[in-house]
Chain A
Amino acid sequence: MNNAEQIKETIARIFPDVETVICYQQGFDGLHATPYFISIPEQVNKLIWNPLCAQNLTSYLPSIKKKVGIVVKGCDSRTIIQYLQEGLIDRAKVVIIGVPCTGVISVKKVLREIGHQPVVDVVFDDNGNIVVKTQKGEKRLAIADVCPDKCTTCQYPTPLVYDHLIGEPIASNKPKEDVYKDIREFDAKTLEEKRAYWEKEFERCIRCYACRNACPMCICQDSCIAETREPHWISQRLSLQEKFMFHMIHAAHLAGRCVECGECERVCPMDIPVAKLKKKINAEMKELFNYETGVNPDDKPPMYTFNVDEAKIKEHKL
């Protein structure tokens, strides 16, 4: 029995206990999965489970008051742990169906490979490939080559917290020291290069706030200071300055909280690498406080606490 069948069976079993289950169904074409809210067990037949199920469904949890079941991958489970650290959800009201994950697919990367053609059909073979058929032919791509960047250094393929585990746990085979390699490489550039890079990227921002609204840890949502007039942090002018500021607001508010699910970057319609800023801060959190987000429910986010003597923070000399 494959994972999809096992998930369906598990959902059927937990049903009287939960009012809704959040999982995935096929989206508007073969290349897109989309979140699926099940409220009666019969709906489960439309559920899908494959590497296209990339969204972090846990984003919905803090706003749902009812008891809910949810399908999570290893990376998604870190969000749940972070929620628990911050007291944002009631663990007793969430039934977690954990699924060990060997890597998902970045639709953006696939589209690049197939030249943004409309998709006719998508199948997965047994050798870790996705086969995408378009009017112009068929393309076989190794999932590992079209996965989101986060998968290439994934340390937690198996959910860290769950009530039901589908299949066997998987251990990570990715070296831990590579997690922040991209950040170190980028940081090695000159200040001018880095400034120019961000200015070019942020210039495209249309301020749709998809990154913020899709972010599981952006819990202010309707009261976000990016939109309030009092305080008036950013204006409605369309300058680079305003866009830059918005992304700094997003990043700073996620300091020591970002679970690196990559949703902000996945959803950006303008292809801005917004997750990078947050990852940089996470790298510093690791270095300064040996803190890793969403791993241990008993941890405290580093910005919520302090040590009288900080081992790693040295006074800066002028």
Chain B
Amino acid sequence: MSDTGYLPKEKIKDFLKELAKDAVVYAPCLEGDIVLFRPFSEERTLCLDRPANTPPKSVIYPQSETLFAFQYKKAPEDHQKMSVELKADIGVPNMVIFGARPCDAKGFRIYDRVFIETNTPDPYYRKRRENTLIVTLSCAAPSPGCFCVAVGGGPAHKEGSDVMMTELEGGYVIEPVTEKGRAILGKHVIEDGKPYLKDAQHVQAKAHDEVRNPFAPDELPKISQSLFNFDGFWEQVVGKCVSCGACTYLCPTCYCFNITDEQGIGSGERVRSWDACMFFHFTLEASGHNPRPTKFQRFKNRVGHKFIYYPEKYEGVIACCGCGRCIRYCPVNVDISEIVNYLKDTHQELHWASSRKEGTQPTVGSTKDE
């Protein structure tokens, strides 16, 4: 068996059917004008020519899941007393994420460190992660707003994927990344891909050159602390933010969540659901005190989490995969890459500091002399 496989385009449905024999296959499907990861079936329209509107994160980390169910019962010995029964069920089928993009797959690596590689691993995430095979499609061209190469990724970056596919004219070159992914090469419809490997590498390299790097020439952005901690900066750059959760919910690396009890009569579930640091309620305490009451502080925390706090904890890894969704789908197109770029630019910092001294509003990209 060769190390590289090849999937002719006309056999893609057969391939998916074969995968679906012992797993639920989530693939990017066209729905109206948008692309979503859906359990693939014959009636759905596969769409691989652009990244899905939402990343496949919900497959492994669902937007809402039951942590456990509880039920109050009358104690048999004393009917005045109620006892409680808890039931946690972490049953997960085998799953395949087909057609994720390298940025999407890299997102799962960001989660792994938090959910699995800790002394209190999350059994729900871990089980799903272990049961899921991630088949990634490398990007042939950048998408609006994306910048993976600037945050340690790339259009054929393999981190997080089990299998990497690269599209050629007639089919897909298939490179296994993990042991789990190697099994793919054994599927019926997969042919030997060795003759196509060079072409695939060429496509990958070409795409890499086309992705913009807003932080160039830096390898990874280095953030100026003084500017980061300057309130006026945030007031200027995120004044337009409407404080919704679109950026976080569409982000392949955002993982903050809420835990709530949702009750029926005498029973109910403890539910874990996505939450967003952009919401006022996120940090609101029962006393009414809110440590991050303004959208500026909340946005600062979002940028901080991705570009400072997470890297501090995890050996410099930036918790942003550069997919560009938060830029494309933001109601007012707040551009996180632009903001980080300001934050790293020492020249700008001088300028911000000077406007701070004068007591005037700082300005972004003004031509005014310092």
Consider the complex of A and B and state whether they touch directly, i.e. have CB atoms less than 8 Å apart. yes
**When each residue 226-253 of chain A gets 1 if its CB lies under 8 Å from chain B and 0 otherwise, what string results?**
0111000001111000000000000000
When A229-B260, A237-B262 are in contact, do A208 and B333 touch as well, CB less than 8 Å?
no
> Do most interface residues of chain B lie in helix, strand or loop, or is the interface mixed?
loop
Of the listed residues B246, B258, B331, B334, the one surrounded by the most CB atoms of chain A closer than 10 A to its CB is B331
Cα A31 to Cα B327 in complex, Å, equals 13
> B43 contacts the other chain (Cβ, under 8 Å)?
no
8 interchain residue pairs of minimum CB distance: A267-B331, A238-B64, A39-B361, A222-B280, A213-B244, A236-B273, A269-B329, A208-B245
Number of interface residues of A (CB under 8 A): 49
- In the complex, A46→B248 CA distance in Å? 29
Not counting A28-B327, A207-B249, A214-B244, a sample of 8 additional A-B residue pairs whose C-beta atoms are within 8 angstroms of each other reads A29-B145, A37-B236, A37-B239, A45-B367, A59-B242, A118-B143, A213-B331, A271-B32
Question: Contact flags (1/0) for A190-202 with B, using CB distance below 8 Å?
Answer: 0000000000000
A235:B271 contact, CB within 8 angstroms: yes
A-B interface contact total, Cβ < 8 Å = 138
Does B281 sit at the interface, judged by CB under 8 A?
A: yes
Q: Are B32 and A37 in contact (CB under 8 A)?
A: no
List residues of chain B with CB within 8 A of the CB of A212: 244
B50 at the interface (CB under 8 A from A): yes
In the complex, chain B residues 1-55 whose Cβ is within 8 Å of any chain A Cβ: 31-34, 36, 49-50, 53-54
Interface residues of B in 213-247 (CB under 8 A from A): 236, 239-240, 242-246
Q: A271 to B34, Cβ gap below 8 A?
A: yes
Contacting pair B245 A28 (CB below 8 A): no
B-side interface residues, number (CB < 8 Å): 54
Contacts of B80 in A (CB 8 A): none
CB pair B363–A39 under 8 Å, yes or no, is yes
Return chain B residues, CB-CB under 8 Å to A204.
31, 34, 36
Return chain B residues, CB-CB under 8 Å to A60: 239-240
Other-chain contact of A40, B246, B271, B368 (Cβ < 8 Å): B368
> When chains A and B are docked, how far (Å) is the Cα of A235 from the Cα of B53?
25
B160 on the A face (CB < 8 A) = no
Asked if B368 and A42 sit within 8 Å, CB to CB, the answer is yes
**B33 and A236 contacting across the interface, CB-CB below 8 Å:** no
Contact indicator A40/B360 (Cβ below 8 Å): yes
**Closest Cβ of chain A: how far from B322's Cβ, in Å?**
13
B240–A37 touching, CB < 8 Å: yes
What are 23 A-B pairs with beta-carbon distances under 8 A?
Answer: A28-B144, A28-B337, A32-B333, A37-B240, A45-B367, A46-B365, A55-B331, A108-B33, A118-B141, A118-B142, A204-B31, A204-B36, A206-B250, A214-B244, A221-B280, A236-B260, A236-B271, A238-B62, A238-B63, A269-B54, A269-B250, A270-B54, A271-B34
The smallest C-beta distance from A38 to any residue of chain B, in angstroms, reads 9
Complex interface bits, A168-212 against B, C-beta within 8 A gives 1, otherwise 0: 000000000000000000000000000000000000101111101
Q: Is B276 an interface residue (CB 8 A)?
A: yes
Render A15-41 as a binary contact track against B, CB cut-off 8 A, 1 for contact: 000000000000111011011110110
B236 A206 Cβ-Cβ under 8 A = no
- Contact among A29, A36, A135, A213 for B243, CB-based, below 8 A: A213
Q: Is the CB of B246 within 8 A of A267?
A: yes
Q: Mask for A39-51, Cβ within 8 A of B = 1, else 0?
A: 1101101100000
Asked if B310 lies at the interface with its beta carbon under 8 angstroms from chain A, I say: no
| B296 to A: closest C-beta gap in Å | 12
A16 to chain B, nearest CB (A): 13
User: A317 within 8 Å of B by Cβ?
Assistant: no
Judge whether A210 and B245 touch: CB under 8 Å: yes
Whether A236 contacts B246 by the Cβ 8 Å rule is no
Q: A314: CB under 8 A from chain B?
A: no
A40 and B338 in contact, given A204-B36, A210-B242, A238-B62 (Cβ under 8 angstroms): no
Question: Taking the complex as formed, is A119 at the interface, i.e. its CB lies under 8 A from any CB of chain B?
Answer: yes
Contact between chains at B262 and A27 (CB < 8 Å): no
Also in contact, A42 and B366, with CB within 8 A (given A32-B333, A34-B240): yes
Question: Which residues of the other chain, B, contact A210 by a CB distance below 8 angstroms?
Answer: 242, 244-246, 331
Asked if A137 lies at the interface with its beta carbon under 8 angstroms from chain B, I say no
B contact residues around A55 at 8 Å (CB):
331-332
Tell me which residues across on chain B come within 8 A of A227, comparing CB atoms. Answer: 279, 281
Instruction: Confirm or deny: B335 has a beta carbon within 8 angstroms of a beta carbon on chain A.
Output: yes
Residues of B within 8 A of A119 (CB): 144
CA distance A213 to B366 in the complex (A): 29
Cα(A210)–Cα(B334), bound, Å: 13
**Residues from chain B with Cβ under 8 Å of A29 in the complex:** 144-145
Q: Does A91 contact B (CB under 8 A)?
A: no
**Judging by beta carbons under 8 Å apart, are B331 and A27 in contact?**
no
